[in-house]
């Protein structure tokens, strides 16, 4: 029998490895660089990294976040992605049985990646949101006990709701106000969580966005109305709390 401590270690280890790849993805992809070819290299001097310099989490700690050749700082995002994915994997494998744990972990890893991309670049790539929707109809069957029709309706409703909002804003103001990447993301969340969770996800995401905007305005002493809001990031963050809120209400 596999102990909870062993499951936690398996999830954390797998997450750290996945996080190493996803950290490179969120750094390279927006720059148009390949994420599957080419050796990992120092961000400052471009020197290729050796095997001992690419051990997830441990190498960054041992090197204190700096290249051992040039002394330049290594982007903290790499360590943050490894740590975040390790935490997601550990939580999933500790709290859920296999294979449900694998489903929850994959969902969390993809949502974390999308959240970071949208926060940094206001970008929700189809090559992540569309596979996420597909996985909702496959791996999602391991995570939540929902009928297929609930998932289908959730995907359609999530996408349709934000698409309608985007079209309405464009007709009203004559400019883009909501990216279709956000609509595709909410559709993907609906495929995983069903239509029932979508109102809670939207509520939590909206309140979180308003809270962060208010805090930023207070710190800056003014409200920047032209500052875009990465709604996709807040939708990613709100997915699990939204599902938990629904679960508590339906008992």
Q: Say whether 197 sits in a helix, a strand or coil.
A: helix
- The string of pLDDT tens digits covering residues 37-55 is 666 766 666 667 766 667 8
Q: What is the pLDDT of residue 83?
A: 97
User: Percent of the chain at pLDDT above 90?
Assistant: 61
* Whether the Cβ atoms of residue 133 and residue 184 lie closer than 8 Å to each other: yes
- Of 216 and 114, which is predicted with more confidence? 114
- Which of 115-129, 191-205, 237-251 has the weakest average pLDDT? 237-251
Q: What is the pLDDT of residue 251?
A: 58
Rounded to 5 degrees, what angle do the CA atoms 98, 92, 233 make? Answer: 135
Peptide bond into 67 cis (omega under 30): no
Residue with tokens 């905007």: 213
Rounded Cα distance between 99 and 220, Å, is 47
* Whether the Cβ atoms of residue 26 and residue 116 lie closer than 8 Å to each other: yes
Q: What is the pLDDT of residue 47?
A: 65
Q: Is 38 left (phi over 0), alpha (psi -120 to 50) or beta?
A: left
* Whether the Cβ atoms of residue 192 and residue 186 lie closer than 8 Å to each other: no
Rounded Cα distance between 213 and 8, Å, is 36
- Of 103 and 70, which is predicted with more confidence? 103
Of the pLDDT bands very low, low, confident and very high (cuts 50, 70, 90), residue 16 is very high
- The token pair that represents 219 in the structure block: 């710190």
Quick one: which of 172, 189, 171 has its CA closest to 181?
189
pTM for the full model? 0.92
Asked whether residue 170 carries a pLDDT value surpassing 90, the answer given is: no
- The string of pLDDT tens digits covering residues 126-159 is 999 999 999 999 999 999 889 999 999 999 999 9
Asked whether residue 105 carries a pLDDT value surpassing 90, the answer given is: yes
**Domain segments of the chain as ranges:** 1-95, 124-251
Q: What is the pLDDT of residue 1?
A: 65
Of the pLDDT bands very low, low, confident and very high (cuts 50, 70, 90), residue 199 is very high
Residue with tokens 């750094």: 27
């Amino acid at each position: 029998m596999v102990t909870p401590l062993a499951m936690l270690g398996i999830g954390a280890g797998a997450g750290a490895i996945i996080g190493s790849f996803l950290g490179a993805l969120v750094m390279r992809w927006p720059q148009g660089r390949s994420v599957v070819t080419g050796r990992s290299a120092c961000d400052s001097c471009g020197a290729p990294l050796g095997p001992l310099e690419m051990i997830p989490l441990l190498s960054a700690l041992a090197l204190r976040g700096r290249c051992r050749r040039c002394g330049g700082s290594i982007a903290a995002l790499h360590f943050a992605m490894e740590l975040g994915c390790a935490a997601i994997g550990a939580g999933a494998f500790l709290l859920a049985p296999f294979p449900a744990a694998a489903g929850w972990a994959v969902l969390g890893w993809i949502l974390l990646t999308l959240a970071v991309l949208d926060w940094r670049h206001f970008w929700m790539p189809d090559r992540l949101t569309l596979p996420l929707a597909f996985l909702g109809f496959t791996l999602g069957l391991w995570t939540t006990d929902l009928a297929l029709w609930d998932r289908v309706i959730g995907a359609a409703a999530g996408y349709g709701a934000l698409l309608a909002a985007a079209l309405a804003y464009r007709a009203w103001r004559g400019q883009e106000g909501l990216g279709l990447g956000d609509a595709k993301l909410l559709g993907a969340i609906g495929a995983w969580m069903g239509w029932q969770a979508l109102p809670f996800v939207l509520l939590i995401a909206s309140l979180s966005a308003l809270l962060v905007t208010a805090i930023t305005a207070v710190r800056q002493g003014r409200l920047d109305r032209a500052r875009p809001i990465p709604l996709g990031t807040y939708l990613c963050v709100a997915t699990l709390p939204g599902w938990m809120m629904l679960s508590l209400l339906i008992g």
